[in-house]
Structures are given as C-alpha cells and as structure tokens.
Amino acid sequence: MDYFSTRGATERVSSAEAILKGLASDGGLFVPASFPQMTLPEIEALRDLSYEERAVHILRLYLTDYTEEELKGCVSRAYGHTFDDVRRAPVRAVGDLEVLELWHGPTSAFKDMALQLLPQLMSTARAKTGEQDTILILVATSGDTGKAALDGFADAEGIRIMVFYPDGGVSPVQRLQMVTQEGANVSVVAVRGNFDDAQRGVKEIFGDTAMAKELAALHTKLSSANSICCLLADGKIEAGDPVNFTVPTGNFGNILAGYYAKRMGLPVGKLVCASNANNVLTDFLQTGIYDRQRDFYQTMSPSMDILVSSNLERLLYHLAEDTRQVAAWMQELTTVGKYNASSLLPALRENFWAAFADDRATEEEIRAVYERTEYTLDTHTAVAYRAAEDYRRETGDARPMVVLSTASPYKFGASVLHALGEDTAQMDEFAQMECLHARSKMEIPVRLAALRTAVVLHEGVCEKDGMHAAVLSFAEA
Ligand SMILES: *Cc1c(COP(=O)(O)O)cnc(C)c1O
C-alpha cells in the first residue's frame, strides 16, 4: 500500500515513510492509495478477537511494509498494560443509545487509542528505514492530543517531542497533565493565542525550508502527531445491519476513521458530526461551504474548539479524488478564509449528518442523561449525545446508534459538576474529583488522582510568532 499527498505532491511513499514524515512536502496530508476491502464474514470474524488482535488485523491491511511480528509487538506494547479496561474500548448501553468509551487509556481521552500506538510504529519505522537523525515531533493541541502524545513519546529512542497548547484554552486538569510531564526528550510551551493559532504556527514551521536546513545541521527532522487518524474504528457490529455513529468532532480525525471503516466494508449508516458553538463543520456539511471567518468561542468542550479542521482535507480528497482541486480549496482557505465545495454536497449528505450544541445545551444534556440513566457524560460526549438524539428525532432513523465517548468526565470536572448543580467555587481540581466520584460512582482514574503531587516541570510561554524560535532552541538543547 502506497501513500500520497492530498495536494498532489508526486512522491509516493511507503507506510513507514509516511509515518516518519507526518506531513507531505506540499503541506498536504498522506492518504492511502486505495481502501482495502473486507467482506462481511471477515468483519464478523473480528468479533471473537481481542482488541489487540483486531487491531493487528486491520493495521496489516494498511501498513503492508511492516511484518506481522512487528505489528503484534507494536500493538501489544501500546495497549497491553496501559489501559484500565481489558476490552480497551467497552460499549455500554446508556438510555436508548450505545456509548463507546474510548478513554480508558493512560491520559483518559480517546487520543490514547492512536497515540499509544504511533510511537511504537514510529520507532519501528526508524529502524526499518535506517533513519539516523533525531525525529522532532511538533504538536499543536487543543488539550488532549498534547498529553496523549507526551505520554506515548516520553523517553522514546531517537525521538523528541514539543507540544504547544493555547494559554488559558485548556481545562485545568489538561494543563496539569501536560506541565507535569516527565521525560528527558519532552518540551511543553503555552502559546498566547487559540488552538488555530498554535496549529497554524506548527504548519508554518513544517513549510519553512530555511528552518528545515537549520534543523538538518542539528541532525533533526520534523514530524507531526496531530489528531492522527486512528484506523482502529471499533464498533458494535450487528450482522450486516448498518449502524449509525455520532462523533464529537474537532479536527475530524475520529469521524474520518468511521468513514474509512465504511469504505472498507463495515456496515456504517450515517456518521453524525457533532460540534460545539464553533460549528464550522455543521455549516459545511449542510451547505458545502467552509467558512472559518467567524467568532471563535472558548467552550466547556475545549478539545473541539477548532475553526480549521485539518483532517477534513482527507475527506475532501476521497470524495473529489482530485488533488489539484483540494490544493486550490486549501489555498483559498488560507488566503480568503473560505472555500466552496458544494459540488461534494450529495456525497457529504449521503454519508454525514451534522448538528451542534452550545454550552447551555451541553449542560442540559449532562444533567438530563444523568437524571435519566445515572450515567455521567463528559462535556464532549454530551455534545455528541445531544446530536444523536437530534438526529433520531429529526430523521426518524431508528437504527442502532453508537455515540463515541471521547473523554472521562474527570478531565472536565468543574464543567460536569456545574451541570449537575454543584457549586465548585471553593473546590480545587482534586476536591472536584472527590465530589464527582460521589455523584457519578465512577472510579477516579489513578493517573489523574496522582497529579495532586506531581511537580510542574514546564512553565514556558511564547507569543504566536515566537514558536519558530522556541522549536530551534529546543532542537539545539
Ligand atoms: C480530540 C478530541 C475530540 C475531537 O476529535 P477529532 O478527531 O479532532 O475530531 C473530541 N473529544 C475529545 C475529548 C478530544 O480529545
């Protein structure tokens, strides 16, 4: 299986090379040259396997230059001992919907599904390709990717990692998780700006050829780990009956994995894209017009506070199959702030449905679901749960619906408690955890409780235009 850029750069690369590079040389994203097909009996056979066995099954269809032994090793190191549920991603009935809990990994957010595995694949790729230079991973995070990447890459051989997060734009627990990260190869910096500023800064650094030369002199190559599309879409598959999925969406990685699964043969009905008040994707999926020129809101679901949703570019490519067109749209997005892809509207409507919930609706949803079912949703999952209910009500489609749950409520304790009617004014993060434990009866994730005594190691802050300098000084250190 070869990979190439959504924007048409001519080089075709192997999966190991694509994993090492992260971004294509023309600024595009790597996509697979085709979708491997699985038959229904093959898909059904996955049901009897462990999560790790399923993962190897699916990964070997995409990562054809890795041996089965290599993949088995990567997968068992990634998921074997770091998750607190043997099923890794358990499905639980909550009301009329199925909730797929993707947050049982070490950082309590769904990013662990991909970012525990990626470092393993990258170290293996380094060995396979004979790479000698240090790989420097740059990450812009809206909160969860940063910690998940730091945890996955800490002390990885031949790899260093630098994370930029929006100053004041992440939850207190998310911030604490990042600034206390240990490891000789890590750096964490707050950027005075929002997530889009940080993401743009990282993309600019990738496109900067002068910078690449300076880094080459330091025997360093850049790579990325931004909302890497996790191919391990794992659902409750009925025998051939389509299932709908609702995904709380920011950078479009998770929902894109659902689309890939559909293209591979999984009986997926509609993919419902759930957004918060930053509803640029809701508008796009309804009109085909992507317009990032709008107010940016800081919401109680900060991991979805995004106006430039980067993996959407991959969907554009798969629907249009025209790299020149994709490059033109991306160019317009940069220069004008807007593009019109309404030619794709029929295909978008066939596969997707979209809705959003602002903070008030999100709070209402947390409380209503708690009162009805005693299950405590995190803020992101609540946005999705609401969108799933909207979808059922407005379309009458009663097929099974899986709501992807992307974070433990403990990561956003203050907002969740507020929704449940608690006054948190006098509580620090840890008192909030105790209070949430009393209300939700859910175990406090051990790693979050341990933040109480963790030492803050990263207090750096930079301006939006200071990211270049920060990367260079880290590379030199
Ligand atoms: C990253 C994240 C999302 C959004 O996922 P994308 O793949 O970026 O669309 C939603 N919820 C949580 C908790 C996240 O960390």
Query: How many angstroms separate the alpha carbon of residue 380 from the centre of ligand 1?
Result: 8
Q: Which pLDDT belongs to residue 226?
A: 64
Q: Is the pLDDT of residue 235 over 50?
A: no
Q: Is the pLDDT of residue 385 over 50?
A: yes
User: Are 36 and 263 contacting, i.e. CB atoms less than 8 angstroms apart?
Assistant: no
262 in active site: no
291: nearest Cα among 278, 276, 274 = 278
The one catalytic residue in 21, 72, 111, 221 is 111
Q: Is the pLDDT of residue 215 over 80?
A: yes
- pLDDT tens per residue across span 419-466: 999 999 999 999 999 999 999 999 999 999 999 999 999 999 999 999
Q: Which pLDDT belongs to residue 51?
A: 93
Question: Which of 195, 231, 254 most suits a substitution to test ligand 1, by most atoms within 8 Å of the C-beta?
Answer: 254
Question: Which of 112, 227, 271 most suits a substitution to test ligand 1, by most atoms within 8 Å of the C-beta?
Answer: 227
What domains are there in the chain, each with its CATH number?
91-107+228-443 (3.40.50.1100)
pLDDT > 90: percent of the chain:
86
Mean model confidence pLDDT for the chain: 93
User: Are 273 and 354 contacting, i.e. CB atoms less than 8 angstroms apart?
Assistant: yes
With a Cβ cut-off of 6 Å, ligand 1 is lined by 109-111, 144, 227, 248-254, 303-304, 380, 406-407
Q: Is the pLDDT of residue 19 over 60?
A: yes
Q: Which pLDDT belongs to residue 238?
A: 54
CA 468-302-366 angle, 5° bins: 170
- pLDDT tens per residue across span 59-74: 999 999 999 999 999 9
Around Cβ 183, how many Cβ atoms within 10 Å? 15
Distance (Å, rounded) from C-alpha 71 to C-alpha 148?
20
User: Are 117 and 78 contacting, i.e. CB atoms less than 8 angstroms apart?
Assistant: yes
pLDDT > 70: percent of the chain:
97
| Segment 337-347 mean pLDDT | 97
| Segment 109-124 mean pLDDT | 93
Q: Which pLDDT belongs to residue 207?
A: 85
Distance (Å, rounded) from C-alpha 231 to C-alpha 71?
14
> Nearest residue CA, atom 8 of ligand 1?
251
The CA distances from residue 259 to 91, 318, 349, in Å, are 19, 10, 13
Distance (Å, rounded) from C-alpha 278 to C-alpha 211?
33
Query: How many angstroms separate the alpha carbon of residue 130 from the centre of ligand 1?
Result: 33
Question: Which of 115, 251, 300 most suits a substitution to test ligand 1, by most atoms within 8 Å of the C-beta?
Answer: 251
- pLDDT tens per residue across span 255-306: 999 999 999 999 999 999 999 999 999 999 999 999 999 999 999 999 999 9
Query: How many angstroms separate the alpha carbon of residue 209 from the centre of ligand 1?
Result: 31
Q: Which pLDDT belongs to residue 230?
A: 38
Residue 360 confidence class, pLDDT cut points 50, 70, 90 = very high
| Segment 339-345 mean pLDDT | 98
Q: Is the pLDDT of residue 10 over 90?
A: no
- Choose between 237 and 102: higher pLDDT: 102
> Nearest residue CA, atom 7 of ligand 1?
253
Distance (Å, rounded) from C-alpha 96 to C-alpha 373?
10
Q: Which pLDDT belongs to residue 27?
A: 87
Q: Which pLDDT belongs to residue 110?
A: 93
Query: How many angstroms separate the alpha carbon of residue 321 from the centre of ligand 1?
Result: 26
- pLDDT tens per residue across span 150-176: 999 999 889 999 999 999 989 889 999
- pLDDT tens per residue across span 406-421: 999 999 999 999 999 9
Residue 229 confidence class, pLDDT cut points 50, 70, 90 = very low
Secondary structure of residue 396 in the 3-state scheme: coil
Q: Which pLDDT belongs to residue 386?
A: 98
Query: How many angstroms separate the alpha carbon of residue 18 from the centre of ligand 1?
Result: 22
| Segment 29-44 mean pLDDT | 93
